[in-house]
Amino acid sequence: MKEILSLSNVTVDYNRNGNIVRAVAGVDLTLKSGEILGLVGESGCGKSTLGKAIVGILQPSQGEVVFDGQTVKKLTRGQRPNHFRNLQMIFQDPYGSLNPRRKIGIQIADGLLVAGVPKDKALARAEELLEKVGLPRAAVFRFPHQFSGGQRQRISIARALAASPTVIIADEPISALDTSSQAQVANLLVSLVEEFNMGMIFVSHDLSIVRRISDRVAVMYLGKIVEVGTVDQIWNNPSHPYTKALISAIPHADGTSFMPKDLPGDVPNPLNPPNGCRFHPRCPLKKSECEDNEPKLVKLSDDRSVACILQKAGTPPNPILIN
Amino acid sequence: MDLLTVKDLTVTLATGSGDAQAVRNLSFTVGLGEILGIAGESGSGKTMTALSLLGLLPYKGRATGSINFNGREILTSTKREYRDLRGREIAMIFQDPMTSLHPMLTIEVQLTEHLIHHRKVSKEAARRSALELLSIVKIPDPAAALTAHPTQFSGGMRQRIAIAIALACEPKLLIADEPTTALDVTVQAGILKLLHQLRKDKNLSVMVITHDLGVLSSLTDRIMIMYAGSEVESGPTSDILQRSHHPYTKGLIAALPGKVKAASKNLTSIEGMPPELGNFPSGCAFHPRCSFTIDACKKELPKKVEINGEHRIFCPVNPFSKSGKGIE
């Protein structure tokens, strides 16, 4: 599998009344074709901001996003280089991301029209795409309000597919949907990734869905990646205390009255992040050096990466023991 | 003794195209100190059931049947009687603590309001109770929290404050409508722990409404599963999650993504969508999506089938009929 997307030291700052809020603080990440990378973390950790920076909705203040050999630049009013048409995004809220006053067909065809495809051909392609995502062809003549949330999210997916993307950034694509539609839309995304050999970054706070559909998982905390590994590594043998805490907090729906463990405290304010390791104020395994030294993301011998002083580069992961 | 006994509750709502029944012939009980979970997809009538207990149905909404709370019938209450009941005997917390708290008022005002109204206590006494409530729900530095506004707290802390407000008048029953859906798992676990603690310390009865079976598994004693306004299955939590009998419950459990890491990435899902209000199918409302449908399902209302003890299902296909093994 070839590497299609790579991020190096991506940093995103928001300016809030003159204060600089560093929402993403230096992220290194890669994505291969045909791979689904789950991006998880608590709300406020910067996962959505990172997603927006990858497609160029936000401009990183440092670092760069390289897509298929070229650096992604911020979206402007002018035309975007054709190269980046293959990098698409799906948003969380299918009610807000579709224009309520325009017909579905023309909204899907927009991207093709910009690329110079004649209108009749673009609309015909829109019909095909609707069929692909499991909606009737006649939907091109309807408006968004005539569809349910799950159907609207399918329309958003069809719109993203119109550009024949090689990478899709899906920002919480199923969390606004009903239980019944969640599984159906997730299944659709998985089958599309397989069919078109796309790469997908699946941003979600629903850890159980991420576990099921992802190949690799990146865990984010306060703007930084703390651990990246395969689903099996993250779930069964986490090597960062935060990953461990996150996994232990998931309730088990098995009727055994298993009590999930909470992680006391809140994600700190990114305006004023803690010194040293950003997780140390909440970490049950904190040592004194964690307060001053910020751990670097290092690769362990089992090919995962983790940023914690308990782990040493090139060695097998030390088990994280929290009672 | 049961604290709450609901019999044949039917809730009728006025929609654009005439009246529609959102809850149909629902009967259930909540025991003293018991945590009952109500599960179902949106539109299954779980929230309307809760609102009818509080007399908070939407405009032109009507409830019929019987709701016996703590030994008296409350469905026939007047507006005034409901006002005395709400907050004092039955309290409710909502999904989104950002919209259920008033953004412009301090925590103190919101926390002491119904103490002063219901209990007629002085401002100082109410303030002392408020400080105690905030420490019960584990808000750090309660004194500082009293003068703060909701926006100064995170989602989890806001939900703790909402719980403190609900507990202010020591209600006997707490209704929690999707109390953790808007929260992160790490914070959710803390709220679940808190609700458990409250039940233990105060013998509080809790009715939790959620679609998250994981939350129900760790929190509840019993679960009732609803579909299209009716009960389809209910029983002790372990029976429902480990030995469910109704095809809908089985479908919900099979659709849990986290259960086992299967070789395929595909999630199991129940085909089709839940019916819309006012457009419920005839007979058993689940029949168009069920893989065991027989002719009777389309015509007859499902009959109650006792499995064992408190475990029961509503299904026209008697699962114990021929094979005796139930629906597999």
Of B240, B261, B269, the CB nearest to A255: B240
Q: What is the pLDDT of residues A116-148, one digit of tens each?
A: 899 999 999 999 999 988 889 999 999 999 888
CA separation for the pair B57, B134 (Å, rounded): 30
Supply the pLDDT for residue A35: 95
Give percent above pLDDT 90 in chain A: 67
- The H or E element containing residue B298 is helix B295-299
First to last CA, chain B: 36
Distance between alpha carbon B170 and the CA centroid of its chain, in Å? Answer: 19
CA pseudo-torsion sign A204, A207, A209, A213 = positive
Q: What is the pLDDT of residues A154-164, one digit of tens each?
A: 999 999 999 89
- The H or E element containing residue B62 is strand B62-69
Q: State yes or no: pLDDT of B134 exceeds 50.
A: yes
Q: How far is B148 from chain A (nearest CA, A)?
A: 17
Confidence of residue B323 (pLDDT cuts 50, 70, 90): very low
Q: What is the pLDDT of residues A264-284, one digit of tens each?
A: 877 788 888 899 999 999 999
Give percent above pLDDT 70 in chain A: 100
Highest mean pLDDT among A166-180, A217-231, A249-263, B297-311: A217-231
- Provide, as residue numbers in chain A, all residues whose Cβ is less than 8 Å from the Cβ of B156: 266
Supply the pLDDT for residue B319: 56
Confidence of residue B321 (pLDDT cuts 50, 70, 90): very low
Q: What is the pLDDT of residues A281-295, one digit of tens each?
A: 999 999 999 999 999
- The β-bridge partners of B38 are B209, B224
- Show the domains of chain B with their CATH numbers: 1-89+173-186+199-262 (3.40.50.300), 101-170 (no CATH)
Supply the pLDDT for residue A267: 78
CA pseudo-torsion sign B207, B212, B213, B215 = negative
CA separation for the pair B3, B1 (Å, rounded): 6
Supply the pLDDT for residue A265: 79
CA pseudo-torsion sign A216, A258, A281, A267 = positive
Confidence of residue B322 (pLDDT cuts 50, 70, 90): very low
CA separation for the pair B192, B176 (Å, rounded): 11
Per the CB < 8 A criterion, the answer to whether B92 and B176 are in contact is yes
Give percent above pLDDT 70 in chain B: 95
Cα radius of gyration (chain A): 21
Write down the mean pLDDT value for chain A: 91
- Provide, as residue numbers in chain A, all residues whose Cβ is less than 8 Å from the Cβ of B266: 187, 190-191
CA separation for the pair A314, B111 (Å, rounded): 54
Question: What are the tokens at B75?
Answer: 């469905």
More confident of the two residues A1 and A204: A204
Closest CA to A27 of A320, A321, A223, A257: A223
CA separation for the pair B166, B206 (Å, rounded): 12
For the beta sheet containing B18-31, the strands, ordered from the edge strand earlier in sequence to the opposite edge, are B18-31, B2-15, B62-69, B72-73
Write down the mean pLDDT value for chain B: 88
DSSP SS3 for A203 = strand
Q: What is the pLDDT of residues B278-319, one digit of tens each?
A: 889 999 999 999 888 888 889 888 888 888 889 999 987 765
Of B156, B190, B268, the CB nearest to A183: B268
- The β-bridge partners of A66 are A6, A71
Q: In this complex, do B274 and A150 lie within 8 Å of one another by their Cβ atoms?
A: no
ipTM of the complex: 0.83
Question: What are the tokens at A281?
Answer: 């104020």
Q: In this complex, do B242 and A246 lie within 8 Å of one another by their Cβ atoms?
A: no
B154-B157-B161 Cα angle (round to 5): 130
A66-A61-A72 Cα angle (round to 5): 25
CA atoms within 13 A on the CB side of A283: 24
More confident of the two residues B112 and B114: B112
Per the CB < 8 A criterion, the answer to whether A23 and A51 are in contact is no
Q: In this complex, do B265 and A213 lie within 8 Å of one another by their Cβ atoms?
A: yes
DSSP one-letter string for B23-81 = EEEEEEEEETT-EEEEE--TTSSHHHHHHHHTT-PPTT-EEEEEEEETTEE-TT--HHH
CA dihedral B300→B306→B311→B313, nearest 10 degrees, is -10
Closest CA to B53 of B95, B21, B102, B87: B87
Q: In this complex, do A43 and B184 lie within 8 Å of one another by their Cβ atoms?
A: yes
Q: State yes or no: pLDDT of A85 exceeds 90.
A: no
CA separation for the pair A266, A282 (Å, rounded): 8
Q: In this complex, do B184 and A212 lie within 8 Å of one another by their Cβ atoms?
A: no
CA separation for the pair B299, A214 (Å, rounded): 44
Q: What is the pLDDT of residues B180-229, one digit of tens each?
A: 888 888 889 999 999 999 999 999 999 999 988 999 999 999 999 999 99
State which amino acid sits at residue B110: Q
Interface mutation vs chain A, best among B267, B268, B279, B286, most A CBs within 10 Å: B267
- Provide, as residue numbers in chain A, all residues whose Cβ is less than 8 Å from the Cβ of B190: 262-264
CA separation for the pair B61, B46 (Å, rounded): 15
- Mean pLDDT value of segment A231-260: 92
Supply the pLDDT for residue B259: 52
Supply the pLDDT for residue B301: 87
Question: What are the tokens at A320?
Answer: 């994280």
Backbone angles phi, psi at A199, to 5 degrees: -105, 145
